[in-house]
């Protein structure tokens, strides 16, 4: 069974440019999460989806960040415009319909903003 | 407020030593889950264990063991006879019913095992 897929793995952009990250969860996993991991820190939740509905986006900086999960499968996280402080690893995770179970993480996208 | 505290930032041991990674959590939920994840230098988070709040039985899996104590709100992780391949950052995490079971991670403990 394929794991959580993320692309790209690495992205380098200049500040004020837009950037987008893509995530394909494990088949059948209704719940999808985006986390942000700064260097030397644990991941922090940005947004959680149940199917196509964003049920918790309280930690998403909505002035520059947006996310979508059309059709309740793949998800895209966008930053526009990017700032220097956005340099981090963006992790996607998915979990089974029970919700309280194990979350499977993708390899992450390492973003560097110059 | 930090809900998961991993007081040990870095630990260095010599191969074959036992090492315990501490985790203290804070929650008002009666239903919650505790996790440990390993993050090797490659960066991917690897699931190690999940415990629910109603199951305080300690667990052993090979060289790994976990001690869950609700009385002290702790969920400590012990590696017996450590190996160089155990070198990684280890994260303890809490998920609560009232937050949709999103993971709340500690800051991690960096473990270095030297030959």
pLDDT in tens, B78-106: 999 999 999 999 999 999 887 778 899 99
Centre a 10 Å sphere on the Cβ of residue B74 and count the other Cβ atoms it contains: 16
- CA separation for the pair B28, A23 (Å, rounded): 33
Minimum Cα–Cα distance from B33: chain A residue: A100
Q: How confident is the model at residue A70 (pLDDT cuts 50, 70, 90)?
A: confident
User: What is the SS3 assignment for A71?
Assistant: helix
Q: How confident is the model at residue A15 (pLDDT cuts 50, 70, 90)?
A: very high
Q: At A51, phi and psi to the nearest 5?
A: 55, -125
In 3D space, the residue among B96, B87, B102, B24 whose CA is nearest the CA of residue A31 turns out to be: B102
Please report how many Cα atoms fall inside a 13 Å half-sphere around the Cα of residue B90, on the Cβ side: 27
Residues 6+ apart with CB under 8 A from B39: B45, B46, B88, B89, B90, B91, B108
**B97 interface with A at CB cutoff 8 Å:** yes
pLDDT at A99 > cutoff 60:
no
DSSP B35-94: EEEEE-TT---EEEEEEETT----EEETTEEEEEEGGGTEEEEEESS--GGG-EEEEEEE
**B45 interface with A at CB cutoff 8 Å:** yes
As to burial, measured by CB atoms within 10 angstroms (0-12 exposed, 13-18 middle, 19+ buried), residue B31 is: middle
CA distance A73 to chain B (A): 18
- Interchain contact, B47 vs A55, CB within 8 Å: no
Centre a 10 Å sphere on the Cβ of residue B104 and count the other Cβ atoms it contains: 22
* Arithmetic mean of pLDDT, B44-71: 90
User: What is the SS3 assignment for A66?
Assistant: strand
pLDDT at A98: 60
* Arithmetic mean of pLDDT, A70-77: 92
Minimum Cα–Cα distance from A102: chain B residue: B50
**A110 interface with B at CB cutoff 8 Å:** yes
pLDDT at B74: 96
Q: How confident is the model at residue B59 (pLDDT cuts 50, 70, 90)?
A: confident
* Arithmetic mean of pLDDT, A14-31: 95
Percent of chain A clearing pLDDT 90 (strictly above)? 77
User: What is the SS3 assignment for B6?
Assistant: coil
């Amino acid at each position: 069974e394929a794991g959580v897929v993320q692309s790209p793995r690495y992205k380098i952009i200049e500040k004020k440019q837009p950037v987008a990250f893509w995530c394909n969860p494990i088949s059948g996993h209704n719940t999808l999460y985006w986390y942000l991991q700064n260097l030397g820190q644990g991941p922090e939740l940005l947004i959680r989806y149940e199917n196509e509905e964003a049920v918790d986006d309280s930690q998403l900086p909505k002035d520059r960040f947006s996310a979508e999960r059309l059709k309740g499968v793949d998800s895209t996280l966008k930053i526009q415009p990017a700032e220097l402080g956005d340099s981090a690893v963006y992790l996607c995770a998915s979990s089974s319909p029970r919700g309280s179970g194990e979350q499977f993480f993708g390899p992450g996208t390492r973003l560097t903003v110059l | 407020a930090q809900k998961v505290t991993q007081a040990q930032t870095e630990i260095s041991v010599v191969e074959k030593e036992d090492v315990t990674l501490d985790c203290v959590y804070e929650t008002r939920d009666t239903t919650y889950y505790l996790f440990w994840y390993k993050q090797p230098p490659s960066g991917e988070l690897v699931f190690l264990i999940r415990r629910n709040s109603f199951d305080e039985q300690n667990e052993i899996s090979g060289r790994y063991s976990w001690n869950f104590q609700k009385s002290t709100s702790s969920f400590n992780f012990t590696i017996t006879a450590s190996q160089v391949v155990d070198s990684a950052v280890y994260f303890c995490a809490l998920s609560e019913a009232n937050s949709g079971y999103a993971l709340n991670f500690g800051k991690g403990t960096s473990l270095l095992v030297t030959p």
